[in-house]
Each structure stands twice: as C-alpha cells, then as structure tokens.
Chains A and B, each alone.
Chain A
Amino acid sequence: MTQPKTFGPETLALHAGQSPDPAFGARAAPIYFTTSYVFPDADHAAALFNLERPGHVYTRISNPTNAMLEERIAALDGGVGAIAVASGQAALHLAITTLMGVGGHIVASRALYGGSHNLLAYTLPRFGITTTFVDPRDPAAWRAAVRPETRLFFGESLGNPGLDVLDIPTVADIAHAHRVPLLVDATLVSPCLQRPLSLGADLVLHSATKFLGGHGVAVGGLLVDGGRFDWEASGLFPTLTEPYDGFHGMDFAEESPIAAFLLRARREGLRDFGACLSPMNAFQILQGMETLPLRMRAHVANARAVATHLAAHPLVDRVAYPGLADHPDHALATRLLPDGAGSVLSFELTGGRSAGRAFIEGLKVFSHLANVGDAKSLVIHPASTTHFRMSAQDLLAAGIGEGTVRLSVGLESLDDLIEDLNRGLYAAGRAVQG
C-alpha cells in the first residue's frame, strides 16, 4: 500500500477542475459560450431542478467553463468549492447577502480596498446592514466591536494600501468565539503566497481581475468556502439552517452540512442578484492561473528589490512593504507569508501631494491606472483616486498620506523598473525644489 500524495500548487494551477474535453478531446479549457443547456428528456429536466442530478440549467447559475475556474481556485485554496462571479465586489456582496439581511452587522478591518469600504460604509447601511471598522492590528478592537447581531468578520490578507498583515489565526479565533465566520479578501496574495483557510479563515474571496488573471483583460471574482464553519452549531444563520421557501423548502445545512453556504449562495444569490461571470472571462482567468505560481515568485522577487531600492532613497520618507524588516508587521509576514508579501507596496514621498504627482508623471514603464496585480507594473495615487471618497481622518486611519504612492510591481526586467523609478524620483525631487 503506497503512502498518499497530494498534488502541488503548480500541478493544481494547470489541471484542477479540468478534464480533457469528453466530446472532442480538446486539451485547453473549452469556452462553453451558451446561456442554457438542452434537457435530454422531461424527467432529466425535472431532476436538474430538484437537485436530484448535478448539471447545468442556465449560465447565470452555473456554466462548465466557470465550474473549471471554481474548482481550480477551490483546489488551490484548499476549500470545498467556490462560486465565480462578475467581480471581486460581487463576491463580497454575495458572501454578505448569503449570511445576513436587515439588522445584520459586520466587524471589518478599516484597512480595506476603497470599493469594499464604499459597500460596507455607505451602500449596505441603506439595506439595513451595518459595519464597525476596527484597527486590524488590535485584537481587543475586534472583540469590542462584536454585537449580538454580528454575523461576519472581514479583513484583507494584506490591507490596502498600508499593507497591514491580517493576523488571521488571531482574528479567526475571536470570530469563532462569537460563533461567526471570518471572510478574508486574499486578492493581493493569491493562494500561491497564502491559503487563509489553512490559517483559520472560513471564507475567502479574490478579485480574480488581479493576480489570478494577471493579464488585466478580464474582470471577475471568486468566493471560496473552506467548509469548516459549522452553521448549525453556531445557531446564528437562519438562511442556512432553516427551510427556505424560495428553493424547495430546503434546509441547506441539512442538505449539505459542509457546503451549505455555497448551496444557498448559488441557488439564491446567483439566481436572484444575477452577478454571474461571463464564460469568456472565466476562460481568460483560467489561462492566467496556469502560470500563477511562476508569476507570483517573479512578482515577489521584483517587489523585494524595488522596496529595498526605494527605502534607501533620500526622497522616500517610508516604504510600506511587509517584506522589509522595518514594517510593523514584518514578523507576522514572516510567519503568515513565508513565500513573500506580495508585490503591492506603498511609499510616502517627502514632498507630499505635488511630489507624488510629479513622480507619477515622470514614469515611463509603470502605468498610471486604478488596478493592481497585472503582469505590467502599475502606479496610483490613492488619495485622489481609489480612496477619494474617504475623509482626511479616514485616510489617516487607513494609513494613507497625501503623498502616498502605491505600486503594483510587475514582471518587467528589474533594471528597467529601477531606472523608471529613478526617473520618477528625479522628477519628484525637481518638483520639491520648485
């Protein structure tokens, strides 16, 4: 009897979720560009609707190409399954609306992507769901923010844009002590640098638009269920543990004690909110994921070198990159992100807002745009773009200064990136000198 062996991430990134096409033997992932699927007979049709048989009915609910993507990310993250949606924002919305309704409450890190902050701080309160934002580094603050109606903890593996490292084991323990799950946005690390489910998180979301795709051509989101949270034992989640009139009177936790969350999210959330992913986008993201492990290693190598270079420059006030020893979360990053702290970093120019603008305009290789995680290097000034809705006080609380610049370090030749940064820094210096 041989000892069991599990597949490594490079293998999973290439193969998980995809078998050679049974119809024609195509090795590449076919794009099932169809809205709907022919039923062989009336009994089979009824069986699909009754969940007696697995299969596809309508692409808003499921699609074979999307399923490959879902199963691939589930394998890489160590989850029981996943749901592909139209964007990372759609993944966050789907997670929240599957778990709670009016009166629900979330405890979230205050170091969030601006879009997530908008959803939690401004939009969801209109629908009766409120959020308390806390310092992600302060366990007591997470604890203190819990209310009887709290149904979710939420944070990012690496906070945006200060690159705070979320202490997932600690925050997960606090969440579980209050019988609620922890959802982690792992967009900036991808499963190649961190698997939050193995650290105690219960749900993971990715903006697949970023590193998973890597090419910057497709917007998409993924929501992964770790399958460890016991909804029935918690007793706080009637959407999962009580019969649902909207779908065969199903008690999702009774039907599937492990995958109840995914079942409800697909059968209600995708069905009713409709934020489905195009199969074309799923295909494009799958192509990117094939090289994810290789790319993440190269991203991290370039980012480390760039961070070190910037930290030594006289015009740079501070560099926020957990891979550097002076980052407040460096020790935590060493423990939770041993293969690298990603390739997004931010830094503060000594000259403030005008220096920041001159720096960005002086760059030739870095592209000035609102995205991260592209194979190409990217740059942005958060205070005037991604976080422009936040007050000065909220900006400060999130670790963003007026001169903060965020870089997403890509895969170009390192020499070219360093030269480009020097070009921008020279321009910034001239702007400061007036």
Chain B
Amino acid sequence: MELTVNAAPAFVYTGGRSFDRQLPVVVLIHGAGHDHSVWNYQARHLAHHGLSVLAPDLPGHGRSAGEPLASIESLADWVEALLDAAGVTQAALAGHSMGSLIALQTAAQAPTRVTRLLLLGSVAPMPVAAPLLDAARDNRTAAHTMINQWSYTPASQLGASATPGISLTGLNLRLMERQREGLLANDLGACNAYQAGLDAASRICVPCAMLCGERDQMTPRRAVKPLHDALVNAAGGARMIIIQGAGHAMMAEAPDAVSDAMRGFLNSAPT
C-alpha cells in the first residue's frame, strides 16, 4: 500500500494481507541498499499469524519517493512519521543491519510508541570498512560483490538455495543494482556515522531480542556483545537468538528459522 510520509509517497508492503491497525503491528525495517522484499517470507508469515505488518521502502529506496536520508536519527524520525501516517499508536519494531540501528534509535527516542524491539544482524557502533565505503562511492559493482561475499555463507553462495530455483546472491546483486546511484554510499555512511547506539540501547526498557547469524561475517557474533551488554535495561534482559548456519543475510538464508524466532518473540508473554 502507499502512504504519504513527510509529504512524500512511501510504499509499504503488508505481507499479502490488508493492513489492519486493530491488530498488533510490527514494522520491518530493511538494511542498506535494500527494499521491503528482503522481508518477503517473514512479512507474509507474521501477517498470516495475527500481526499487521508494515514493511516500508525507506525514502529513496525501492518504490518510495523522496531523497535518501543521511543519518540514522533522521531515519528514526521518518519511522515515527510512518507510524503517524498509518494511524498507529504503538508497534513492535524489527530491523536488519542498518534497519536495526533505525529501530534501536526509534525505540530510544520514542519509548512510548515501541512495544518490542527485534534487532537482526546488529552491532553498535556499526563501523563500515573503508574499502567498502570507498567502493560504494566510486565503484558500485565492486561494493555489491563485497557485500554479497560477506553477507552470504559459502554454502549459500555455492550450494542449494533456501528458495528453490532462486540464486540468493544473484537476487541480492540485482536488488542493490536497482537502487538509485549514491544510495548505498549514503546508507553505509549513515551506519558508519551513527555513534549513539550504545547510549540508545541503555535506554531500551521494552522486551528486546537480537538475532545473529551463526556465520555472519558483517556483524559477527563476537562484535554483537557490546550492544547486547548495553541493552541492560530491556525487560527481562535482551535475548540472543543464534540462527544456525546463517550469515548476515539470514532472512534469505534461513527464512524459516528467522520467521519462527520473530514470531515466537513477538507472541511471547510480556515480561
């Protein structure tokens, strides 16, 4: 469906079901250089299991108009505006990679509007390697190749796909290519510049879960600890869920495990 957010058209995927604000709402926020389609399986699964899903294309991404926003803080403001546009008072937020920082910042700056927080493939701070930042600015093709190399496990790159007949790395390359010039550099720059993550995490009081790919090279398990430790005030303590065999692109590589973990967390009893 299309909403108007900050006076610009925004596309929001709802997982194959009509959006119903009377149901518990979950917002799924994609990562750098991506769009809503990275959440296809999870969005459909949650939408068919009692939740109303908002999976937006962030400004300038996919089908959403407007200029890409250059900071995690401004993207968090945009997510708040999205909730307003959808007439949603409160929602759970889930974000992947850059989207996880947006979800984290939104939950910190608008604590009354966020009921639960799901951080997938997340670290804070999220420094981006200089060669990748340079390539995103000067040589997109090289940047896309690097991201594929580091986002998918060797088994995913060469072996059987989780989606029959689909090349996960091929699909991801084209998805990144489809985005406008300069967008990936903008997004990675926003991740790299965001330094408020640990402070934001310390202010999270709602239930929080972190999903980490067992073989994630972009946001590896060992790098997740500072953020996990900073979520000290999350209700019941932040849960850490390891997605076995998956890399950073866990929603595509292990769609069932990710969907099950998200649904389990979102449906769990309040702590």
Chain A: residues with CB nearer than 8 A to chain B? 1, 3-7, 11-12, 15-19, 46-47, 50-56, 62-64, 66-68, 70-71, 74-75, 78-84, 226-228, 230, 232, 248, 250, 254-259, 262, 266
Tell whether, in the assembled complex, residue B158 and residue A258 are in contact, meaning their CB atoms are under 8 Å apart: no
Give Cα distance in the complex from A189 to B155, angstroms. Answer: 29
Tell whether, in the assembled complex, residue A227 and residue B170 are in contact, meaning their CB atoms are under 8 Å apart: yes
Report if B16 contacts A (CB, 8 A). yes
Give Cα distance in the complex from A20 to B173, angstroms. Answer: 25
Report if B167 contacts A (CB, 8 A). yes
Q: How far is the CB of A274 from chain B (nearest CB, A)?
A: 17
Contact-residue size bin, chain B (C-beta under 8 Å from the other chain): 35 or more
Residue interface mask B171-199, A partner, CB < 8 A = 1: 10111011000000000000000000000
Tell whether, in the assembled complex, residue A256 and residue B16 are in contact, meaning their CB atoms are under 8 Å apart: no
**Which of B62, B146, B160 has the largest count of A CB atoms less than 10 A from its CB?**
B160
Considering the complex, give the chain A residue whose CB is closest to the CB of B165: A70
Q: In the complex, given contacts A52-B41, A230-B178, A257-B35, what are 6 additional A-B residue pairs having Cβ atoms less than 8 angstroms apart?
A: A54-B164, A64-B164, A67-B164, A81-B163, A256-B37, A257-B63
How many residue pairs, one in A and one in B, have C-beta atoms under 8 Å apart?
A: 133
Known: A52-B41, A52-B44. A74 touches B163 (CB 8 A): no
Tell whether, in the assembled complex, residue A257 and residue B175 are in contact, meaning their CB atoms are under 8 Å apart: yes
Residue interface mask B24-46, A partner, CB < 8 A = 1: 00000000000101001100110
Contacts of A82 in B (CB 8 A): 165
Chain B: residues with CB nearer than 8 A to chain A? 13, 16, 35, 37, 40-41, 44-45, 48, 62-63, 129, 131, 142, 145-146, 148-150, 155, 157-167, 170-171, 173-175, 177-178, 255-256, 259
Known: A53-B259, A81-B171. A17 touches B161 (CB 8 A): yes
- A46, A227, A248: the one within 8 Å of B171 (CB): A227
Known: A50-B44, A52-B259. A227 touches B174 (CB 8 A): yes
Give Cα distance in the complex from A81 to B174, angstroms. Answer: 11
A-B contact pairs, 18 of them (CB 8 A): A4-B149, A6-B149, A16-B158, A17-B159, A18-B159, A52-B41, A52-B44, A56-B164, A67-B160, A80-B170, A80-B171, A80-B174, A83-B165, A230-B178, A255-B13, A257-B63, A257-B175, A258-B178
Tell whether, in the assembled complex, residue B170 and residue A75 are in contact, meaning their CB atoms are under 8 Å apart: yes
**Which of B48, B161, B178 has the largest count of A CB atoms less than 10 A from its CB?**
B161
Tell whether, in the assembled complex, residue A15 and residue B158 are in contact, meaning their CB atoms are under 8 Å apart: yes
